[in-house]
Amino acid sequence: MKKTLLLLAVVFFSSSQVWSQSSTLSTKPEKANSTNDFRIPLIGESAPTFTAESTNGTINFPSDYGRKWKLLFSHPQDFTPVCSTEIMELAKLQDEFDKLGVKLVVVSADPIDVHMQWKKAMENLTLTDNKKIKIKFPIVDDENIAISKEYGMLNAKSKSTKSVRGVFIIDPDNIIQALYFYPMNVGRSSDELLRVLSALQTTAKDNVMTPVNWKVGNDVLLHNPPKIDDNNPTASKDEYHNPAWFLWYKKYNEK
């Protein structure tokens, strides 16, 4: 009997200790998830804001650019070969982006003084057409990688900035409409960025969709079958065509 009582007492004491520890642990505030800083903002979400120094002075993103389309283009380090070719190509195509009303902002995980040296070096290079480029868009100082974290461009388990190779297309309402990530050894396509920007602007303006490999001037897709005008069926046939009941194309005339 004594042994049974002693055993029960030990079990009760042990259970009390476990309960006490569990209660203590459960009342502690949970630690913030360290990976939250590295979450990628997705399509349809607001673009994270930041204030930072750049080669064009202090910028407040995206508010400084008002109701313009914005292209945020990031780099892991200055003076890297692939990144240098990308920035020079963006500068070369600056007029094309201007025609679309798109503001370019480049972010790189180095300090402003290194950005200035990198910019000067690139502007002194002669490209294949024997012309030098002028970099008009800002290169933003992200030495503390705060912007890279806000835009989810860092691997939470890595101390390297090599994954800072993102592109974010942001609309006039400061909503993310497209995003891309690339490895360090593969250059990004400026032609594709221009194509996607044109497609996004077209679909937003005319409430249509664009098919595979669409380029400006190509037919667009309709969300729903059109209302055919019985009084002018020929014009309707010239304007629309549908290879299947679920697939309606419309000739696109850029206004």
DSSP-assigned states of every residue in 92-161: HTHHHHHHTTEEEEEEESS-HHHHHHHHHHHHT---TTS------S-EEE-TT-HHHHHTT-S-TT----
Comparing 61-70, 88-97, 148-157, 199-208, the range with the smallest average pLDDT is 148-157
With respect to residue 212, please indicate whether it lies within any of the assigned structural domains.
yes
Closest CA to 65 of 166, 138, 143, 133: 138
Comparing 23-37, 77-91, 215-229, the range with the smallest average pLDDT is 23-37
Overall residue count recorded for the chain in this entry:
255
With respect to residue 200, please indicate whether it lies within any of the assigned structural domains.
no
Q: In terms of pLDDT, which residue wins out, 30 or 251?
A: 251
Residues 182 and 216 in one domain: no
With respect to residue 164, please indicate whether it lies within any of the assigned structural domains.
yes
pLDDT of residue 15: 39
pLDDT of residue 102: 98
Which one of the listed residues 59, 83, 106, 140 is annotated catalytic?
A: 83
Written as one letter, the residue type at 68 is K
With respect to residue 202, please indicate whether it lies within any of the assigned structural domains.
no
Highest mean pLDDT of the ranges 4-18, 19-33, 237-251: 237-251
Residues 47 and 134 in one domain: yes
Q: How many domains does the chain have?
A: 2
Q: What is the mean pLDDT of the chain?
A: 84
Closest CA to 193 of 108, 54, 100: 100
Residues 159 and 219 in one domain: no
Check whether 163 has a pLDDT greater than 80: no
Q: pLDDT band for position 236 (50/70/90)?
A: low
Residues 223 and 174 in one domain: no
| pLDDT single digits (tens) 36-93 | 457 899 999 999 999 999 999 999 999 999 999 999 999 999 999 999 999 999 999 9
Residues 44 and 170 in one domain: yes
Residues 156 and 227 in one domain: no
Q: Is 83 a catalytic residue?
A: yes
Check whether 24 has a pLDDT greater than 70: no
| pLDDT single digits (tens) 127-147 | 767 789 999 999 999 999 999
What is the average pLDDT across 173-184? 95
With respect to residue 95, please indicate whether it lies within any of the assigned structural domains.
yes
Domain range for 41: 36-188
pLDDT of residue 238: 78
With respect to residue 145, please indicate whether it lies within any of the assigned structural domains.
yes
What global pTM score does this model have? 0.80
Residues 184 and 212 in one domain: no
